[in-house]
């Protein structure tokens, strides 16, 4: 069942966070649904601009509609990740997406508000909810590339005004994470002080944490042992998810860790089966590993086991 992120956030606020997972193909879609059913978790499917144009924008839509029938017990939102104004309007008009993110965060404050507000007006007219970003994460995400030197933490003093003037439904905050596999160095971590200040100014308002992959070291080591060349990388400590949830984070975005699962499975498989050329054995292996990965993340987010209570709330 497709629902808006707003409904999922109402159920989760202050208690746990909903996993928002980026998908690009059939195998990820199957693994995602299976993992969320296995762990009995509500979830958010994220489709980026790049994922929409990877084959054709209708392809992922078709896969998700089919998965909704294959897994009728699933409860999820379909969300455009890091849209610009044009892609947001396209998704709003598609009648398929329940939520869009407008990322105008690289603009000055007033311009960010102006663009975001236009998207909110168009989305709300069709019952679709909007996430927007204030502050700037470092790293690379689709068309958005921000050097660490230019990454900006969200200013808590601007957060209330931004929400009031745009009418958004959730706010993506920059509290020290970055996109991609290369996030933190040394002992750097999340800025819970900034998050607490934002929550004070926006009590009960759903916050979103991007760039939340953990980049597990054992995964990186396995990839490199199978021929990969990933440099030293460190991600978000997943034991911090619950603390973030208590401070108002209701959506946690994870993409890179899923890509690492894909890379590890494929590198190891072809290293160990050099004679193999069939797509399906490796596809099946990946779907199983991806489902396990998703279920494990949902445990850490606290969303595992919440499906029944969400369904009751929606009834």
Q: Give the residues lining the site for ligand 13P (CB under 6 A).
A: 22, 81-82, 141, 179-180, 210-213, 253-257
Q: Which helix (H) or strand (E) holds 43?
A: strand 43-48
Residue 178 carries which DSSP code?
A: B
Q: Which is nearer to ligand 13P, 34 or 210 (CB)?
A: 210
CB of 263 to ligand 13P, least distance (A): 13
Q: Which is nearer to ligand 13P, 61 or 255 (CB)?
A: 255
**In this structure, how many other beta carbons lie within 10 angstroms of the beta carbon of residue 155?**
17
SS3 251: strand
Active site residue 81: yes
- Distance (Å, whole) CA 21 – CA 37: 14
Long-range contacts from 90-93, C-beta under 8 angstroms, 24+ separation: 90/57, 91/128, 92/119, 92/122, 92/123, 92/126, 92/128, 93/126
Among the listed residues 81, 84, 103, 255, the single catalytic one is 81
- Distance (Å, whole) CA 315 – CA 310: 9
Question: Which two structure tokens, joined as six digits, stand for 9?
Answer: 């956030």
Q: Which is nearer to ligand 13P, 257 or 268 (CB)?
A: 257
Q: Which is nearer to ligand 13P, 117 or 183 (CB)?
A: 183
Taken in order 36, 254, 286, 57, the sign of the CA dihedral is positive
CB of 240 to ligand 13P, least distance (A): 13
Question: Which two structure tokens, joined as six digits, stand for 195?
Answer: 């998050």
CB of 313 to ligand 13P, least distance (A): 26
CB of 252 to ligand 13P, least distance (A): 9
Q: Which is nearer to ligand 13P, 112 or 212 (CB)?
A: 212
CB of 207 to ligand 13P, least distance (A): 13
Catalytic residues: 81
């Amino acid at each position: 069942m497709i629902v808006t992120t707003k409904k999922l956030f109402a159920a989760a606020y202050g208690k746990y966070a909903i996993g928002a997972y980026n998908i690009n193909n059939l195998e990820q879609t199957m693994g995602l649904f299976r993992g969320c059913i296995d762990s009995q978790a509500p979830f958010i499917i994220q489709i980026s601009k790049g994922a929409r144009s990877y084959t054709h924008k209708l392809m992922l839509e078709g896969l998700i509609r089919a998965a909704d029938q294959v897994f009728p017990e699933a409860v999820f939102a379909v969300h455009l990740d890091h849209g610009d104004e044009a892609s947001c309007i396209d998704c709003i008009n598609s009648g398929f997406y329940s939520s869009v993110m407008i990322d105008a965060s690289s603009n000055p404050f007033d311009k960010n508000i102006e663009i975001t507000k236009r998207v909110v007006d168009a989305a709300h007219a069709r019952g679709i909810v909007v996430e927007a970003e204030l502050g700037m994460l470092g790293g690379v995400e689709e068309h958005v590339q921000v050097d660490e030197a230019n990454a900006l933490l969200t200013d808590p003093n601007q957060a209330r005004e931004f929400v009031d003037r745009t009418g958004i439904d959730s706010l993506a905050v920059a509290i020290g994470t970055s996109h991609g596999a290369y996030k933190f160095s040394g002992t750097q971590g999340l800025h819970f002080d900034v998050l607490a200040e934002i929550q004070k100014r926006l009590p009960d308002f759903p916050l979103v944490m991007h760039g939340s992959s953990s980049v597990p070291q054992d995964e990186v080591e396995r990839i490199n042992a199978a021929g990969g060349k990933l440099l030293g990388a460190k991600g978000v400590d997943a034991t911090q998810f619950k603390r973030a949830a208590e401070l108002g984070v209701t959506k946690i975005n994870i993409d890179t860790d899923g890509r690492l699962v894909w890379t590890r499975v494929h590198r190891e498989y072809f290293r160990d089966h050099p004679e193999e050329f069939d797509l399906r054995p490796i596809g099946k292996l990946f779907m199983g590993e991806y489902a396990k990965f998703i279920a494990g993340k949902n445990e850490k987010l606290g969303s595992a086991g919440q499906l029944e209570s969400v369904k009751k709330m929606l009834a």
